[in-house]
């Protein structure tokens, strides 16, 4: 590499914080051709790339970047899609800083190559150029696979297996495909048109999609197994947690899932054009410190709140949200109340939440997660006015399938137990992955699980050996 190393990532232009507080348009603009090529040229094209092992779906990272550096954008997207059916999504929501970019050689001395931004660029570039090219699909194997849940995991399994000639049918409970990508992640972080585009690509590859179908109710897994040779369970973490403190069932107290589903899937931000309403609170408290909490807080702001606070029981250092999300939230004026724990919510005479009692915390010894355990500071209680509370403290796997599939082994958190090497469940012909196995994790980990499962499923479909 003859060129001198550029120490910093090519910056990505963003909508100004003041402007975006009011709208649902995506915050970063993405690279243009010149910026992308400049950034791609920062890649050293290592002979033994250290970045690839950091990617749960093992994208040929230097490979696709080389195409961009040479201005061959079509080559770049083709290389990406060999390993990832959702590049426009992953380029936006993957925690690259903890995965591929963390392992980039440049990161030892400088900023790593902006792999995520380049991935996003390649996908968006293809979309803006028109129709995506459909790869050659091998002749049908005659095997049929049911994929439960059209979230990132289900879409990945479908993409991998359809390319191997298997017949795929995805069953989705909601009226739109995408899972958490459509009900959870807001428009300003992941425009819904992108998911539509990526799902559309899979459908053109021959994947069948059955919406409004709740496996466990509309049909059980055993009923599906009468028709299909294999089943993948990717039903996600669909059971919200509450803190079990007084006042949580007052009006105005939401789970993050409800708040985001109303705003995103049901488009309540466009009420009354769309029929689903949402409370447009003026003083909003979001409980929790993950990406979901950031999404809720930024949504509340866009719904017209005067003040939005993130209430988190530990400190910034322990916060699980991505640095970029925290940064965007701060820029937009979200207030962070660290080391604070809600104790109860108090309602008015109409059972609407009006106040929240909290206690300040300090950090004690590390707990099982390795993070320092927050301990209440006695006597530090205080009361603060709120009119909307969003509880974003996590969720557990959706119980509908475990409840209706007696021979599926379930862990103590309601998660489906699997063999980590193959993602096989205890039930013959059934694989599982993503949040239904992990509890609340990330899009890309769900996709990584799906990739492992797809490999094992293909083997089983070929040989019939469980």
Partner 1 sequence: MYKILKREKIVPNIHLLVIESDAIHRNAQAGEFVVVRADEYGERIPLNLVDWNDTSISIIFLEIGTSTRKLAALNAGDELATLVGPLGKPTELTKDKNVLCIGGCYGIGAILPVIRAFKKNGNRVITAIEARSEFMLYWQDRLKEHSDEFFEITRDGTRGIKGHANDFLNDYLKRERIDLVYVQGCTYLTYLCSETTRPFGIRTLVGLNPIMVDATGMCGVCRVIVNGETKFGCVDGPEFDGHQVDWQNLLSRRKIYLKEEVYSLSFYECEKYG
Residues in contact with partner 1, counted by CB under 8 A, come to a total of: 41
Q: Which is nearer to partner 1, 111 or 248 (CB)?
A: 248
Exposure string of 99-124, with b = 16+ CB inside 10 Å and e = fewer, is bbbebbbbbeeeebbbbbbbbbbbbb
In angstroms, what is the minimal distance from the CB of 265 to partner 1?
8
Phi, psi dihedrals of residue 100, rounded to the nearest 5°: -60, -45
Q: Which is nearer to partner 1, 239 or 343 (CB)?
A: 239
Distance between CA 428 and CA 426 in Å, rounded? 7
> Using an 8 Å Cβ cutoff, are 270 and 263 in contact?
no
> For partner 1, which residue of 13, 22, 175, 428 counts as binding (CB under 8 A)?
175
Distance between CA 372 and CA 318 in Å, rounded? 8
Q: Which is nearer to partner 1, 29 or 274 (CB)?
A: 274
342 φ/ψ sector (left φ>0, alpha ψ -120 to 50, else beta): beta
What is the contact mask toward partner 1 in residues 23 to 52, using x (rule: CB under 8 A)?
------------------------------
> Using an 8 Å Cβ cutoff, are 154 and 449 in contact?
no
In angstroms, what is the minimal distance from the CB of 308 to partner 1?
20
Residue 276 interacts with partner 1 (CB under 8 A): yes or no: yes
What is the contact mask toward partner 1 in residues 192 to 231, using x (rule: CB under 8 A)?
--------------------xxx--xxxx--x--------
Residue 257 interacts with partner 1 (CB under 8 A): yes or no: yes
Q: Which is nearer to partner 1, 167 or 238 (CB)?
A: 238
In angstroms, what is the minimal distance from the CB of 374 to partner 1?
24
Q: Which is nearer to partner 1, 82 or 248 (CB)?
A: 248
Closest CA to 307 of 326, 282, 327, 325: 282
Pairing verdict, β 388-391 and 372-376: unpaired
What is the footprint of partner 1 within residues 236-255 (CB under 8 A)? 238-240, 242, 244, 248-249, 251-252, 254-255
Distance between CA 404 and CA 441 in Å, rounded? 24
Element (H, E) at 257: helix 256-260
Q: Which is nearer to partner 1, 220 or 380 (CB)?
A: 220
CB atoms within 10 A of CB 131: 9
Q: Quote the strand ranges of 85-182, DSSP E.
A: 144-148, 167-171
In angstroms, what is the minimal distance from the CB of 364 to partner 1?
29
Phi, psi dihedrals of residue 134, rounded to the nearest 5°: -95, 125
In angstroms, what is the minimal distance from the CB of 323 to partner 1?
28
> For partner 1, which residue of 65, 114, 164, 174 counts as binding (CB under 8 A)?
174
What is the contact mask toward partner 1 in residues 54 to 83, using x (rule: CB under 8 A)?
------------------------------
Pairing verdict, β 167-171 and 144-148: parallel
What is the sign, positive or negative, of the torsion defined by CA atoms of 390, 391, 397, 402?
Answer: negative
> For partner 1, which residue of 130, 272, 370, 464 counts as binding (CB under 8 A)?
272
Stretch that binds partner 1, among 48-56, 274-282, 287-295, 308-316 (CB under 8 A): 274-282
Q: Which is nearer to partner 1, 275 or 407 (CB)?
A: 275
Distance of CA 351 to the CA centre of its chain: 34
> Using an 8 Å Cβ cutoff, are 85 and 77 in contact?
no
> Using an 8 Å Cβ cutoff, are 250 and 353 in contact?
yes
In angstroms, what is the minimal distance from the CB of 260 to partner 1?
9
Distance of CA 254 to the CA centre of its chain: 20
Distance between CA 442 and CA 98 in Å, rounded? 12
What is the footprint of partner 1 within residues 341-400 (CB under 8 A)? 350-351, 398-400
Q: Which is nearer to partner 1, 193 or 375 (CB)?
A: 193
In angstroms, what is the minimal distance from the CB of 87 to partner 1?
27
SS3 for 198? helix
In angstroms, what is the minimal distance from the CB of 252 to partner 1?
8
Residues 436, 444, 79: CA angle, nearest 5 degrees = 135
In angstroms, what is the minimal distance from the CB of 403 to partner 1?
8
Using CB under 8 A as the criterion, which residues of the chain lie in contact with partner 1 when the complex forms?
173-175, 183, 212-214, 217-220, 223, 238-240, 242, 244, 248-249, 251-252, 254-255, 257-258, 261-262, 266, 271-277, 279, 350-351, 398-400
């Amino acid at each position: 590499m003859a060129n001198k190393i550029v120490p910093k990532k090519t910056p990505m232009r963003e909508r100004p914080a003041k402007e975006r507080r009011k709208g649902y348009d995506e915050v970063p603009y993405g690279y243009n051709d010149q910026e992308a090529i400049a950034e791609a040229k920062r890649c050293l094209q290592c002979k033994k790339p250290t970045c690839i092992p950091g990617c749960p779906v093992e994208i040929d990272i230097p490979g696709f970047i080389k195409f961009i550096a040479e201005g061959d954008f079509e080559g770049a997207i083709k290389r990406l899609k060999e390993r990832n059916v959702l590049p426009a999504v992953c380029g936006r929501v993957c925690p690259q800083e903890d995965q591929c970019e963390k392992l980039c050689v440049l990161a030892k001395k400088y900023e790593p190559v902006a792999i995520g931004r380049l991935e996003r660029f390649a996908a968006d570039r293809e979309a803006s150029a028109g129709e995506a090219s459909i790869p050659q699909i091998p002749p049908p194997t005659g095997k049929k696979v049911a994929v439960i849940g059209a979230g990132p995991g289900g879409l990945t399994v479908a993409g991998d297996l359809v390319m191997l000639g298997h017949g795929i049918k995805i069953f989705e409970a909601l009226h739109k495909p995408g899972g958490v990508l459509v009900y959870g992640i807001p428009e300003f972080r992941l425009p819904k048109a992108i998911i539509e585009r990526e799902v559309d690509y899979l459908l053109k590859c021959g994947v069948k999609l059955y919406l409004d179908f709740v496996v466990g109710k509309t049909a059980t897994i055993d009923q599906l197994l009468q028709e299909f040779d294999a089943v993948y369970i990717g039903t996600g973490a669909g059971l919200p947690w509450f803190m079990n403190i007084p006042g949580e069932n007052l009006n105005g107290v939401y789970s993050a899932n409800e708040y985001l589903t109303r705003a995103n899937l049901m488009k309540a931000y466009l009420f009354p054009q769309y029929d689903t309403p949402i409370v447009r609170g003026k003083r909003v408290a979001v409980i929790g410190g993950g990406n979901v909490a950031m999404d809720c807080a930024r949504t509340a702001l866009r719904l017209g709140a005067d003040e939005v606070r993130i209430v988190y029981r530990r400190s910034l250092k322990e916060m699980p949200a991505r640095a970029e999300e925290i940064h965007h939230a701060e820029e937009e004026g979200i207030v962070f109340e660290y080391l604070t724990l809600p104790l109860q919510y108090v309602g008015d005479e109409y059972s609407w939440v009006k106040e929240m009692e909290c206690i300040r915390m300090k950090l004690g010894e590390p707990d099982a997660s390795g993070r320092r355990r927050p301990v209440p500071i006695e006597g530090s209680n205080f009361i603060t006015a709120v009119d909307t509370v969003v509880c974003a403290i996590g969720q557990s796997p959706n119980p509908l399938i475990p409840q209706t599939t007696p021979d599926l082994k379930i862990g103590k958190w309601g998660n489906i137990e699997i063999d980590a090497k193959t993602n096989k469940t205890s039930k013959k012909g059934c694989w599982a992955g993503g949040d239904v196995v992990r509890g609340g994790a990330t899009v890309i980990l769900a996709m990584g699980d799906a990739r492992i499962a797809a490999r094992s499923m293909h083997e089983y479909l070929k040989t019939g050996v469980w």
